[in-house]
Copies of this chain bind each other. A is one copy, B any other.
Amino acid sequence: MKPEDETNEVYRFFTEVGIINQLISTKLEAFLPGRMTATQFGILGHLVRRPDGETPLQLSNAFQVPKTSMTHMLASLENHALITLETNPNDKRSKIARSTPQGAEFLKACMERMSEALAPVLSELGPEPFHRSLPNLTLIRETLDNERD
């Protein structure tokens, strides 16, 4: 394949990623209360799977958003009582965000509704397109992430 076709493919890759992200965020946000964002929901899921919690900085690295955005998102999640924020005993500059039982409950309910909404798509596509692309996506994400310094 010619090099220009390769760059073209890379460009289309990122375009498709952008559109899929847009589609799935919109679909998810339709289920979320108020102005809650797909990223905020992702953070909640991340925390539910990590009972020891994480610091805001770890979360902004994981989701690749600026820490100033993270401050805002965590404050919003805390207002909804879906997470708690306490100062880190090991480092008083820092904080620990943890999910609450209500947070886990809320996540579960939303995930179920989302699964229902996605069911037609999944039964049409089957698991293969996801299964086949996931390792490549992970590889690309890791490389982009490592190169960022």
Q: Given the complex of chains A and B, what is the CA–CA distance between A131 and B22 in angstroms? A: 22
Within 8 A of B (CB), among A105-149: 111, 115, 118, 120-122, 124-125, 127, 129-134, 136-141, 143-145, 147-148
Q: Given the complex of chains A and B, what is the CA–CA distance between A28 and B49 in angstroms? A: 31
Segment from A1-9, A50-58, A71-79, A83-91 that makes contact with B? A1-9
Query: A121 to B144, Cβ gap below 8 A?
Result: yes
Neighbour of A23 across the interface among B10, B22, B132, B141, CB < 8 A: B141
Query: B138 to A121, Cβ gap below 8 A?
Result: no
B-chain residues with CB within 8 Å of residue A129 when the two chains form the complex: 136, 139-140
Complex A-B: 30 CB contacts under 8 Å: A1-B131, A6-B131, A9-B131, A10-B127, A10-B130, A11-B45, A13-B130, A14-B21, A16-B134, A17-B17, A17-B20, A17-B24, A18-B21, A18-B25, A18-B38, A18-B39, A20-B137, A20-B140, A20-B141, A20-B144, A23-B148, A24-B144, A121-B144, A125-B143, A129-B136, A129-B139, A130-B136, A132-B132, A132-B133, A133-B136
